[in-house]
Amino acid sequence: MSFLFLFSGFLLIGILSVHVVKNKGFVPFEHRTAIPWKLTDILLLLFLFFVLLIANGVLIGFTLALSGHADSFRADSLQPRLHEASGRSVSSNAVSIGRSGESAAEIAKQHPLTQLVLQVKDNPAIMLLVILCAVVAAPLGEEFFFRLLLQGWLQHCEWDRRRLLPFPAWTIGVFPVGSVALFFALIHFRNPGAAPPPVGHVVLSLLSQLTATCATFLFGIFYLRIVRKATLRDFGIDLSRILPDVRTGLFFLALLLPPMILIQKGLHALLPDVTTDPVPLFFFAIALGLLYFRSQRIVAGLVLHAALNGVMLFLLFTLV
């Protein structure tokens, strides 16, 4: 099955290559120079996110303490199940699948979400929280900030100053897409040798991230619409192309999964004590950036991002 999965992925890569050669591009390029937001707007929303993240963490912890439910989030109240997972195959993060026969010590080095699922997978409320964070909040918040706001602003700056840059035309878009992809990959860096955080801390962190991301996203839409007069097109949405964008996102999911898994597993085999997550995530972010750069629409990237996280969560839930 693994062979068929990888073979189908590389077959799609071949089909896409032929399509690109014949039609000069899979995603038609659509240029748009003007965006209504500025760097100050991006920094404002970023600052708001971190303020809400900290405030939500404090508020949630304080509320639990007052209600007498704080003990239910203690590390020793959620019985660890790492020893039960030893010898099973698990998904370690968004782009890797663990090896069978891993010891509890090796699993303890995995991504915090993997550790959380391993320990409390029988808790439906926490599993729902994990799904909402990974499949809804993370793609929505990250695509809104990284691709729509940050990359969109960098593209505008680059195009606005293209006559001052002594670079050939084919380099247009390289800096916005590449720099945002690098930033995206680096923020996912983690220390695999660090002690795993308590389960309760991970749950509270997910609750804080979910509420902060949703609140910042909703406020950002309202702020940009009212203050900056942003339109639906400025937000990267074309209602007449929703279905084609969804199909494009799903196609790129099938296209990217095999090479990303191979890269992650190969790097993990070569560098078992080093965090290799940023490497495949960098190429993943490049794909997301190119989708937005060529189409100026966000739906395909959202679908790709959410579907990838959903597939990996499904593998984690079913293989643990």
- Give per-10-residue mean pLDDT for the chain (320 aa): 50 54 62 85 96 84 60 48 38 41 50 70 84 93 96 89 69 89 87 64 85 95 96 93 92 84 79 77 91 93 94 78
Residues in contact with 283: Cβ distance below 8 Å, sequence separation at least 6, in sequence order: 181, 256, 259, 260, 263
What per-residue confidence (pLDDT) applies to 228? 94
pTM to 2 decimal places:
0.81
What per-residue confidence (pLDDT) applies to 52? 92
What per-residue confidence (pLDDT) applies to 101? 44
Rounded-to-10 torsion of CA 181, 300, 212, 218 = 130
Q: Which residues pair with 51 in a beta bridge?
A: none
Long-range CB contacts (< 8 A, 24+ apart) of 113-117?
113/202, 113/316, 114/90, 114/316, 115/82, 115/196, 115/199, 115/202, 116/199, 116/202, 116/203, 116/206, 117/316, 117/317, 117/320
User: Are 241 and 297 in contact, with CB atoms under 8 Å apart?
Assistant: yes
Measured CA to CA, the distance from residue 9 to residue 90 in angstroms comes to: 21
Q: Identify the CA nearest to 143 among candidates 263, 287, 312.
A: 287
Measured CA to CA, the distance from residue 16 to residue 31 in angstroms comes to: 22
User: Are 254 and 8 in contact, with CB atoms under 8 Å apart?
Assistant: yes
145: phi then psi, degrees, rounded to nearest 5: -80, -50
What per-residue confidence (pLDDT) applies to 76? 44
